[in-house]
Structures are given as structure tokens and as C-alpha cells.
Amino acid sequence: MHLFLFLFKTLIDLLIFGLMLRIFSSIWVNNTNPIHQAIVLTTNPLIRPLSSYIKSKDQLFLLLVGLSIMIKFFSLWFAFSLYCLVGLNLIQLLALSVMTLITFVLKIFFFGVIAHSLLSWLAPKNYTPISDFIRQLIVPILKPIQKRLPYPAGFDFSPVIAIVIIQSLIMIIPINSLLTNTVCTNLLQIL
């Protein structure tokens, strides 16, 4: 049963990861980047049934966010119905879906900032599609911080500050307050 929950959660996380990357890469990443093109190709089957309703990037953005929330909501509902004696009501489940989705996006950017920093230290002048993708995805987050920071001795501390801000945001999202009355056997694995 633990293996099923792990595989189910991994599949859902991969779906949401692809949808979230498509949202942010369509905003910030160049359309000619092969990684962006691969993300678009792999997420198109999920969007294709509703593509006739998409007229602009804003509508695509709303569709991707709504689809991600819906996938997260039904996956949490399914997992809670299998593994919990006392679960959440629909409003709490929707709130939990949104909160876990926000946390998931923040974690994507957390690891993206770390990857961007490592790539800039280890191979600063090396161009690969993945390094360019990560750079284009993360630089818009670092720019506002870089504008407000001096560069002491040529060091850029914006990734450190971005990581602290992202971790602080993750810590203040009140996921645990929703789960106080929940009785589950595998609560940590469900989330």
C-alpha cells in the first residue's frame, strides 16, 4: 500500500511540476529553448481538450493554474479517502490543495535558485539548453533583490537572500492548521 501511495503521489507531482514549469517558462523563458518546447509538448495532451477556449496567454495561465488545483484537489481527496479515518471537508481540502500547490511552486524556485547558483559557479560561460532554461526562469526572481543589494568584492548574495525569503514563505503557509483534526495512517506521505 505504501508503494502505491508513493507511485501515485510521484505521478501527480510530475504532472503538476510540468504544468507549473509551463506557466513560468511561458512567461520568462524564450520559446526557442528546447527545454521549454519539451515542456509544452508534454503538457499539451492535458490542455488539448480545452484548447478551443484559450484565446490569450492569460487564459492559458488561468487554465493551467485551475488544472493544477483540480489535479491536486482530486489526488488529495483520493489519498485522504483511502488512508484517513477522519479527513477534511471540501473547503478544507480545497484550501489544502491551494496551499500545497503554492508550497510546491516555492520549492521549485528554491531548487531552481540553488541550481542556478551552482551552474554560475561551476560553469559560468558554458551554454546548455538546461542552464539557459534555469537562468531565464530564475533571473526574474533575483533581479529585484540584486537591484537593492551592493556587490561587496564582486559577490552576488541575491541567491542567498532569495533562498531565505522562499524558505520563510514556505514556513508561514499554515498547512498544519488545516490538519489538526485529521486522523491518517500516512499523513506525511499523502502531503
What pLDDT shows up at residue 101?
96
On the question of pLDDT at 61 being above 70, the answer is yes
84-86 vs 183-184, strand pairing mode: antiparallel
For the stretch 90-141, pLDDT in tens is 898 999 999 999 999 999 999 999 999 999 888 877 888 999 999 999 999 9
For the stretch 137-170, pLDDT in tens is 999 999 999 888 877 767 788 999 999 999 999 9
Q: What percent of the chain has pLDDT over 70?
A: 95
User: HEC string of the chain?
Assistant: CHHHHHHHHHHHHHHHHHHHHHHHHHHHCCCCCHHHHHHHHHHHHHHHHHHHHCCCHHHHHHHHHHHHHHHHHHHHHHHHHHHEEECCCHHHHHHHHHHHHHHHHHHHHHHHHHHHHHHHHHCCCCCCHHHHHHHHHHHHHHHHHHHHCCCHHHCCCHHHHHHHHHHHHHHHCCHHHHCCCCEECCHHHHC
Residue 178 to residue 173: CA distance in whole angstroms: 11
Q: What is the mean pLDDT of the chain?
A: 88
- pTM for this entry: 0.89
